[in-house]
Amino acid sequence: MRQVLFAAVALMGASAPIAAQDVRNWDRQVERGREMQFQWLNYDEGTCADRGPARFVLTTAPKLGKFRTQRTTVTPQSGPCAGRRLSVLFVYYVAGQRPGLDETSYTIVGGSPITVNLRFTVF
């Protein structure tokens, strides 16, 4: 059975990102055999124009788990882009059966690249 433990939404807007938005450093805990979900939307915040699904680029492979991705669309029910179809990339970290510390990183390529450095404590 899949359990979603965490969801992070990154909106890749038309404006130039500040340096702090280019790199995300996250520490998370995940139970053995479970998965953690991250959501990445790729659209222009000013016009709600969809840019298509963002791309997942693995930089450092995990040692205690693995990643899987899923591309789909969502239609927000509220907010400035309500009723518009937007592309979303779901990134799942699936923890293995061994406990320990898993350090991994990936880049999301969309409106502006975002590097994600993750430290998972698998318990």
pLDDT score of 15 = 40
Q: Region 32-41: what's the mean pLDDT?
A: 96
The answer to whether position 114 is within a domain reads yes
CB contact set of 87 (below 8 Å; sequence gap of 6+): 41, 42, 43, 50, 51, 52, 53, 54, 71, 72, 73
Q: Which of 72, 73, 60 is nearest to 120 (CA)?
A: 60
- Encoded amino acid at 97, one letter: Q
The Cα 123–Cα 120 span in angstroms is 9
Let me know: does 80 contact 113? Beta carbons within 8 Å: no
The answer to whether position 59 is within a domain reads yes
The answer to whether position 66 is within a domain reads yes
Let me know: does 115 contact 26? Beta carbons within 8 Å: no
The answer to whether position 44 is within a domain reads yes
CATH number, domain containing residue 73:
2.60.40
Q: Which of 91, 85, 76, 110 is nearest to 35 (CA)?
A: 91
On whether the pTM is more than 0.95, the answer is no
The answer to whether position 3 is within a domain reads no
Q: How many domains does the chain have?
A: 1
The answer to whether position 2 is within a domain reads no
pLDDT score of 40 = 94
pLDDT score of 1 = 38
- pLDDT tier, 8 (very low <50, low <70, confident <90, very high otherwise): very low
Q: Region 34-54: what's the mean pLDDT?
A: 92
The answer to whether position 105 is within a domain reads yes
Beta-bridged to residue 62, according to DSSP, are: none
Where in the sequence is the domain holding 86, given as residue range(s)? 9-15+24-122
